[in-house]
Amino acid sequence: MSDVEFGNYLYRVMRGLADPAGMAQQVDDTVIDLGHDVRVQLTVRHEDGPYVGLIESHRSPDGAECAGSITFDVPEAEGLRGPRWQVVSWEPLTITPSILCSCGNHGFITEGRWVPA
């Protein structure tokens, strides 16, 4: 495991996207551009499994790359830590409530677009 892969694994453990026993969630390779410089990648528990969350990335106010993760309120996410977001629609993606990053980026994913709060 490279330093970058290990760093990514530690990030996922800290965010509840992986457990220390190595049962890491897998990130879909598809990057979805929601507009407003916000991108998401959906996550699954097991290969070819249903989506259980997403990783959202954006630029912070100081211009640095910033990212966070959320977990969907679906049965397959049982055992993952943290709050849950409701999936209103998969296509186009709409979730509730809004997403608020520690850097201050705040918005909604509605009809496949990022809507700033």
Provide the pLDDT for residue 24: 47
Q: pLDDT (tens digit, 9 = 90+) per residue, 3-21?
A: 445 455 545 555 555 544 4
Q: How far apart are CA 29 and CA 71, in angstroms?
A: 18
pTM: 0.77
Taking CA atoms, 12 is separated from 6, 34, 67, 69, in Å, by: 10, 22, 11, 9
Domain-wise residue ranges, the chain: 25-116
- Specify burial of residue 52 (Cβ count, 10 A radius: 0-12, 13-18, 19+): buried
